[in-house]
Structure 1
Amino acid sequence: MNWIMIKHLIAKDWHFNRIPLMLYTLVGFIALAMLPFNQQGLFYVSMVLLISSVIVVGAHLVFVTVVIERKEQTLPFVMSLPISFMDFTMAKLLVNLGAFMTIWFVLVAGMMGIIFSVDTLPNGLVPYATIALIELIVAYVLVLSVAIVTESEAWTIVVMTLTNVCVSLFWYFLGSFESIAKYIEGEVAVWNSTAFAFIAIEIGIIATMIGLVFYFQSRKTEFL
């Protein structure tokens, strides 16, 4: 691995995307500020804003750092630098996962802090919310993986659309588990075997997808 060039590629992507990412994060903070208000309608609006800001962060990163770079023919210049396929792949994964996970963690930590500190929000919501929000990472990594491996705008859009639908279905599916649903309105966050199983499966899927990206990239014979 040419870590010097990898760092330069990461710095380049961060430089061109830092302002939009900060704006999306600001929208997330606005959503967090609305959470403590004791109004059901306002709560749902704040949750939609929060989740939407995370989804938009992921979409922006994938399209600007991977899809558009290929579409606008800047990739040939990048690959003319002293880097390998795997260096390029590592740089794209690190900058995307690093930026997305940082924003995700900040917003989720803020949400959890508000839930625990505001009496009107049940602490029992935390396990369900954690699993549901980790699913956003699963969806994001899937879209990112498809974008990197296929280098196709069409396939990326198709997968992104499908994941947005599937995430909503997953949340409904998650709520159908009695061992999860019956504690949502409770005063205590209950971390049982079902909750841990969901999280373990999600982490396993994420790790598998990242591994498959490296596998498929290593088998490519042409990168331009």
Structure 2
Amino acid sequence: MSLNIPVIRLLVVKDWQLFQKQLALYVLAGLVALCFLGLAKPWAFYVGSLMLIIVMVSIACFSIATSLMNERKEKTLAFVMSLPVSPLDFTVAKLVGNLVTFAAPFLVILGGTVAVVLFTPLPDGLVVYSLLIFAYILFAFCVSLAVAMSVESEGWATFAMIGSMVMINPFIMGMSQITEINDRVSVDAIVWTPEALAVLATLLGLGAAILGITTWVQARKPAFY
């Protein structure tokens, strides 16, 4: 199976151009949250961290809802089918388009978070903790994207999207119960313990595996339906 790279590129660029203004607003909201974190006050840290999680979850949901779910609702797939594009091309275009749409603000806010922790009075141990939370959000995005690409039901796609994102609270609580991770949050040093590396590797590995399997299954379809 060969890929129609020019058409895939056009579909990815189309998604990016449609959503770049909204994504810029999300990045702006994330920067406001980082400003609160940078104050290094207990109340500001709580407000900033809560805002940051809300912004990141919103970015993940926005990308999937606008690119996949709304497209099906508005029945624009017929236009795509009129192009010289195969189910494999469409799958790759939607996968890459969603990843680009999500990754751009994700990486900007991730880098901003690390910079705020390192260059403010906040303990450097928060870097590891923050990266694990970002890794979970990335994993939840991969799960939501895989479900949205695999099912026609908007209800199931919404359920997967909300359910995976809501589980961030149990994830954070679970990390607080791991002594090797929790005890190093307040220290002024970046310490990657075996437990933290295991959690990070598991989240990234599962996310990649889910997207890989989804792409393989969708690409084997002989038609769009």
By the TM > 0.5 criterion, same fold?
yes
Q: Which amino acid in the other structure matches residue 146 of structure 1?
A: V
Q: Identity over the aligned pairs, expressed in percent? A: 33
Cα shift at 1:222: 4.0
Q: Structure 2: where are the runs of 5+ without partners?
A: none
**Does residue 22 of structure 2 align to residue 17 of structure 1?**
no
Q: Which residue in the other structure is 2:36 paired with?
A: 34
1:118-157 → structure 2 map (5 Å cutoff): 118-119=120-121, 121-157=122-158
Cα shift at 1:23: 0.7
Maintained 8 Å contact 1:34/1:43: yes
Among 109, 120, 123, the alignment partner of 2:111 is 109
Runs of 4+ in structure 1 off by over 3 angstroms are: none
**TM-score of the two chains, using structure 2 as the length reference:** 0.95
Question: Alpha-carbon deviations, 1:185-213, whole Å to 9, x = none?
Answer: 11111111111111111111011111111
Alpha-carbon distance between aligned partners in 2 of 1:164 and 1:137, rounded to the nearest angstrom: 10
Alpha-carbon distance between aligned partners in 2 of 1:101 and 1:111, rounded to the nearest angstrom: 15
Maintained 8 Å contact 1:66/1:151: no
Q: Which residue in the other structure is 1:203 paired with?
A: 204
Matched residue count: 223
**TM-score of the two chains, using structure 1 as the length reference:** 0.95
Alpha-carbon distance between aligned partners in 1 of 2:82 and 2:214, rounded to the nearest angstrom: 22
Q: Which residue in the other structure is 2:45 paired with?
A: 43
SS of the equivalent of 1:189 reads coil
Q: Which amino acid in the other structure matches residue 123 of structure 2?
A: P
Q: Which residue in the other structure is 1:186 paired with?
A: 187
Alpha-carbon distance between aligned partners in 2 of 1:164 and 1:145, rounded to the nearest angstrom: 14
Cα shift at 1:221: 4.1
Q: Structure 1: where are the runs of 5+ without partners?
A: none
Cα shift at 1:218: 2.7
Alpha-carbon distance between aligned partners in 2 of 1:198 and 1:183, rounded to the nearest angstrom: 15
Question: Alpha-carbon deviations, 1:78-102, whole Å to 9, x = none?
Answer: 1221001111111111111112122
Alpha-carbon distance between aligned partners in 1 of 2:215 and 2:58, rounded to the nearest angstrom: 25
Q: Which residue in the other structure is 1:80 paired with?
A: 82
Maintained 8 Å contact 2:142/2:211: yes
Maintained 8 Å contact 2:40/2:120: no
Cα shift at 1:24: 0.8
Q: Which residue in the other structure is 1:52 paired with?
A: 54
Maintained 8 Å contact 2:91/2:219: no
Q: Which residue in the other structure is 1:175 paired with?
A: 176
Q: Which amino acid in the other structure matches residue 18 of structure 1?
A: Q
SS of the equivalent of 2:167 reads helix
CA RMSD of aligned residues (A): 1.2
Q: Which amino acid in the other structure matches residue 47 of structure 1?
A: S
